[in-house]
Chains A and B, each alone.
Chain A
Amino acid sequence: MTNLIRSNFQDHPFHLVSPSPWPLFTSISLLNLATSAALSMHNFNNGYILTILSLILVISSMSFWFRDVISEGTFLGNHTLAVQKGLNIGIILFIVSEALFFLAIFWAFFHSAMAPSVELGGQWPPLGIEPVNPFELPLLNTVILLSSGATITYGHHSLIHGDRKGALYGTIATVLLAIIFTVFQGIEYNVSSFTISDGAFGTCFFFGTGFHGFHVIIGTIFLSVALWRVFDYHLTDNHHVGLEGGILYWHFVDVVWLFLYIAVYYWGS
């Protein structure tokens, strides 16, 4: 390739993004979501309507934004190796920040549980609380989540080896296991003998498991998008940053559950 022809193409490997409305749309939607969520949590009249509207706005803005990223990466070829590296670092930094978020939740739990105050009866679980038996549904959920880690690894390695069926089945199995986990958590919440307003135990329990469940739902969506992109021939055996991001996120959610299971469900009961 001569210098003359080389000069037809961008000289550097970086992706200088084109103007986009989605950062602004997402920012405004998130501000609306935060304020309206605060309103509805304080029982302002019809606050929940604004919350639901904002949530729809956030999801829509994010969807359009990610659609553009997919166009740029898969169809326009803007994601060179240097860009993929940047995306990967972004995902890892995001997960690190999430880990610190959960660290704070665990801190709150251990603060109350390791030195229970007299108001709690000087014991943990507090007097009068009937905690969930960790060897019933939570144990099954642990098995389900660990299995989903295995199935997604099967799907990922199948993709790398060019086995389309394996990649699809592995990812489908993972998404199904994820949905089953969420359903089981829903059942557990329904039959629980305590609520989020039952003192420090209920607060810490639902704070931790609730946010974990929320992250499971996000991870399920993440992996579902990756599944669609395998199905739609977006992902190659070598370039599948979106799927790998989803997998990393999924393993993170998995690890958080192990900590929750050991600390909150087992030790905390």
Chain B
Amino acid sequence: MFLQRSAVALARRAAVAPALRRTLATTAVRRNQVPERKFKSLSEVKTDEDLIGPGAQPGTVPTDLEQATGLERLEILGKTEGVDVFDMRPLDASRKGTLDNPIPVRGVGQEQYAGCTGYPADSHIVVWLRMTRDDPIERCPECGSVYKYNYVGPEDDGHHHHHHVEPEYPEPKTWADYLKPEYKWA
């Protein structure tokens, strides 16, 4: 629906006569200097600077594609290409995660929380699990489903090799610390 509307709107814009009438002498000169009114598509966006539209012509009602900025613009650019930039879908709950085949949890930060409700979904109350880049595997203490942090953010830039995030309280010791490391998720 959005695509349809914006396509119609864009076509309408193209047919609008220039609102500012100038003397004949300057019009031809100015015409040639008018910068191309083009906006960057989703694939061309790199930073915040790219999330600014060309703006509306004077005397017209702006469209979202012409005028939206920032995160709103990112969302709209995504929608015009069928990309959901905010993937708000819940985690895969079609199975119970195992150590061999954990449920992936996508994230771009140093740490990421995920809420487990068991399998099938909503089998138990939400249990929040915290994963970090250093310690990506977490197991739900309620149902035993295993989650693994799938980090997709920027690689280390070589200056800050140690991104370890210290938890507020140190993790309590388990059998894994004294007997066998594989007991950690047992």
Residue numbers of A with Cβ under 8 A of B are: 1, 3-13, 75-82, 159, 162-164, 167, 230, 233, 235-239
The 8 A CB mask of B40-55 against A (1 = contact, 0 = none) is 0011011110010000
Check B72 against A79 for contact (C-beta < 8 Å).
Answer: yes
Check A1 against B9 for contact (C-beta < 8 Å).
Answer: no
Check B71 against A10 for contact (C-beta < 8 Å).
Answer: yes
- 14 A-B pairs besides A1-B83, A78-B70, A164-B59 with CB distance below 8 A are A3-B108, A10-B71, A11-B108, A13-B75, A13-B86, A77-B51, A78-B71, A78-B72, A233-B62, A235-B62, A237-B9, A238-B63, A239-B64, A239-B72
Check B12 against A162 for contact (C-beta < 8 Å).
Answer: yes
Classify chain B's interface size: 35 or more
Nearest CB of chain B from residue A238's CB, rounded to whole Å: 5
Given A77-B51, A237-B62, A7 and B71 contact (CB-CB distance below 8 Å): no
Check A12 against B86 for contact (C-beta < 8 Å).
Answer: yes
Q: List 8 A-B contacts (CB under 8 A).
A: A1-B42, A6-B152, A8-B48, A9-B48, A13-B71, A77-B73, A79-B72, A163-B61
Chain A residues lying within 8 Å of B85, measured Cβ to Cβ, are 1, 6, 9
Chain A residues lying within 8 Å of B117, measured Cβ to Cβ, are none
Contact of A236 among B2, B68, B153 (CB under 8 A): B68
* CA A239 to CA B56, docked complex, whole Å: 14
Question: Is B67 an interface position by the 8 A CB rule?
Answer: yes
* CA A162 to CA B67, docked complex, whole Å: 13
Q: Which residue of A lies closest to B152 (CB)?
A: A3
Contact of A77 among B42, B68, B108 (CB under 8 A): B68
Check A80 against B45 for contact (C-beta < 8 Å).
Answer: no
* CA A79 to CA B67, docked complex, whole Å: 13
Question: Is B34 an interface position by the 8 A CB rule?
Answer: no
Chain A residues lying within 8 Å of B29, measured Cβ to Cβ, are none
Chain B residues lying within 8 Å of A78, measured Cβ to Cβ, are 70-72
